[in-house]
Amino acid sequence: MEITDKTWPAFRKSLEHTVMQFDTFAKAKELCVSTLFVNGLLDVFIIRRNIKEVRRANRRYVRIRRALGPHELTPRQGRTIARIVEKYIR
């Protein structure tokens, strides 16, 4: 994924219509169910500070796991995430 002057307008428009525009962050800090955040170590779109803040605010329910990979989910990352989730469920 490359963001350039040419691709930015479409990318920005897609962001305007995603969960980034809602109060998801605030609600995540108030979770009352077990929750697992999984993200790629090379994901440039993740704001790790925010995820850590959610974890600090809600240590009882929130867990964070990272896997080697980018933002895009490839079949290989999918298998890795499946193993992480399976381990978490146990």
* Closest of 28, 18, 73 to residue 52, by C-alpha: 28
Token representation of residue 51: 């995820």
Is residue 49 within 8 A of residue 80, CB to CB? The reply is: no
pLDDT tens, 11-50?
Answer: 888 777 665 556 777 888 888 999 998 988 888 878 888 8
| Tokens (6 digits) for 58 | 């809600």
Structural contact between residues 65 and 38, judged by C-beta atoms closer than 8 angstroms: yes
d(CA 56, CA 36): 14
Residue 57, number of CB atoms within 10 A of its CB: 13
pLDDT band at 2 (very low <50, low <70, confident <90, very high): confident
